[in-house]
């Protein structure tokens, strides 16, 4: 087995570096590739009941954007790039999909790597029906209620109010005995309230946070992708870590959290763990770097945790997160605009 085990919501996984749901995990080959590259767990591509959500995949498109704002030519993406994309759900018949998942589960089980089924919320009752069927094929189900395409593609939903989260999760929870993980959007005024609602409705673990809606003019009179999209980049990492750390603080160490959105390196994964996540779902790093990038993350995280107690490391950064009111006055650095030095050097 590669790496250190991570147990999340009753599910034992090979290590804390999981592959998140995306087109990379939409085929049996894709699932097997991720398992064989050393993933701790692999989340399969999402499905739901809606033909419209499946049709969205016909217009899927992807643009990698450098930190300097340049759209890369196809195939030239680098590790630090952002990704703007449109996406849809797996275009499959449910029975065929369950057979594919079962084959992936079997392959993963031999390597200690669970393959997790995924549903992106459309209608909660339909999601419950799918989750029930899916739980016969997989050891855990992830329910994504934070689709960043929700406004553009109403067949996938982004819930941003605690009551709505509670109602949807309760319906799906009632339909499955298997571990149920709920993945939340980052784009809500109070993500901790959503986490609390998901948990009180019966989620075994909470995923934080989904990617953001995005828009990028190309300055030629149009827009990159020619539409709105979903956006993620390494710059999203501190925003994701904020909500993981806040959820950990509010809900306590007993509530399993799974981090996602912005991890490109082993250090990023470790920062998620230090903020309170027990595992981290990575996607874009693999789109850019392939299976070798996944193997690198797993090895890097494993090497770091080797000298530590992983259970103690999870959430360890919170000891350094002081409330503003507890911080004694600090001397303003000389470069600040209201210091004399800045005023002189700017000729004022």
Ligand X SMILES: Cc1cc2nc3c(=O)[nH]c(=O)nc-3n(C[C@H](O)[C@H](O)[C@H](O)COP(=O)(O)O)c2cc1C
Each residue of 205-227: b (16+ CB within 10 Å) or e?
bbbbbbbbbbebeeeeeeebbee
Shortest spacing between CB 244 and ligand X, in angstroms: 13
The span from the CA of 270 to the CA of 307, in Å, is: 13
Of 158, 160, 260, 265, the residue at the interface with ligand X (CB under 6 A) is 260
Shortest spacing between CB 41 and ligand X, in angstroms: 12
Contacts to ligand X from residues 198-237, by CB under 6 A: 210-211, 232
Neighbours of 235 (CB within 10 A): 12
Strand pairing category for 212-214 and 279-282? unpaired
Of 2, 15, 120, 265, the residue at the interface with ligand X (CB under 6 A) is 120
Shortest spacing between CB 106 and ligand X, in angstroms: 22
The span from the CA of 110 to the CA of 105, in Å, is: 9
Side-chain-side CA neighbours of 14 within 13 Å: the count stands at 27
Which is nearer to ligand X, 45 or 278 (by Cβ)? Answer: 45
288 binds ligand X (CB under 6 A): no
Shortest spacing between CB 330 and ligand X, in angstroms: 33
With left for phi above 0 and alpha for psi between -120 and 50, is residue 261 left, alpha or beta?
left
- CA Rg, the chain, in Å? 21
Which is nearer to ligand X, 89 or 277 (by Cβ)? Answer: 89
158-163: long-range pairs with CB below 8 Å, 24+:
158/185, 158/187, 158/210, 159/121, 159/185, 159/194, 160/185, 160/187, 160/188, 160/189, 160/194, 161/188, 161/194, 162/190, 162/193, 162/194, 162/196, 162/197, 163/197
Which is nearer to ligand X, 133 or 342 (by Cβ)? Answer: 133
56 binds ligand X (CB under 6 A): no
Of 2, 13, 15, 144, the residue at the interface with ligand X (CB under 6 A) is 144
CB-neighbour burial class of residue 242 (10 A; exposed 0-12, middle 13-18, buried 19+) = middle
Which residue in the shown chain puts its C-beta closest to ligand X? 20
118 binds ligand X (CB under 6 A): yes
282 binds ligand X (CB under 6 A): yes
Stretch that binds ligand X, among 34-42, 185-193, 243-251, 255-263 (CB under 6 A): 255-263
Interface with ligand X: number of residues (CB under 6 A)? 26
Of 4, 45, 157, 246, the residue at the interface with ligand X (CB under 6 A) is 45
Shortest spacing between CB 308 and ligand X, in angstroms: 23
Stretch that binds ligand X, among 66-74, 83-91, 248-256, 318-326 (CB under 6 A): 83-91
Of 3, 16, 20, 108, the residue at the interface with ligand X (CB under 6 A) is 20
Shortest spacing between CB 305 and ligand X, in angstroms: 19
CB-neighbour burial class of residue 331 (10 A; exposed 0-12, middle 13-18, buried 19+) = exposed
What is the contact surface with ligand X in residues (CB under 6 A)? Answer: 20-23, 45-46, 83, 85, 87, 89, 118, 120, 144, 183, 210-211, 232, 260-263, 281-285
């Amino acid at each position: 087995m590669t790496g250190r085990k991570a147990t999340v919501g009753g599910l034992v996984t090979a290590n804390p570096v999981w592959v998140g749901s995306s087109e990379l995990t939409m085929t049996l080959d894709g699932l097997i590739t991720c398992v064989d590259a050393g993933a701790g767990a692999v989340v399969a591509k999402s499905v739901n009941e809606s033909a419209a959500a499946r049709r969205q995949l016909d217009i899927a498109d992807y643009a990698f954007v450098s930190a300097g704002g340049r759209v890369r030519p196809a195939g030239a993406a680098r590790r630090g790039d952002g990704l703007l994309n449109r996406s849809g759900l797996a275009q499959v018949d449910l029975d065929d999909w369950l057979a594919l998942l079962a084959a992936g589960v079997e392959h993963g089980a031999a390597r200690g790597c669970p393959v997790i089924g995924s549903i992106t919320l459309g209608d909660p009752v339909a999601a419950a029906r799918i989750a029930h069927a899916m739980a016969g094929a997989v050891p855990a189900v992830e329910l994504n209620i934070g689709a960043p395409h929700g406004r553009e593609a109403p067949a996938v939903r982004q819930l941003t109010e605690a009551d709505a989260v509670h109602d949807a999760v309760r319906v799906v929870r009632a339909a499955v005995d298997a571990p149920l993980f709920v993945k939340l959007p980052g784009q809500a005024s109070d993500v901790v309230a959503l986490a609390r609602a998901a948990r009180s409705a019966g989620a075994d673990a909470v995923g934080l946070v989904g990617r953001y809606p995005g828009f990028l003019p190309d300055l030629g009179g149009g827009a990159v992708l020619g539409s709105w999209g979903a956006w993620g980049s390494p710059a999203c990492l501190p925003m994701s870590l904020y909500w993981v750390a806040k959820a950990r603080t509010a809900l306590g160490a007993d509530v399993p959290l799974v981090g996602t959105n912005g991890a490109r390196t082993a250090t990023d994964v470790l920062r998620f763990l230090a903020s309170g996540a027990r595992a981290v779902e990575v996607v874009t790093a693999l789109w850019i770097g392939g299976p070798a990038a996944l193997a690198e993350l797993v090895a890097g995280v494993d090497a770091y945790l080797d000298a530590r107690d992983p259970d103690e490391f999870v959430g360890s950064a919170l000891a350094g997160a002081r409330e503003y009111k507890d911080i004694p006055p600090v001397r303003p650095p000389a470069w600040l605009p209201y210091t004399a030095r800045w005023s002189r050097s700017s000729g004022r």
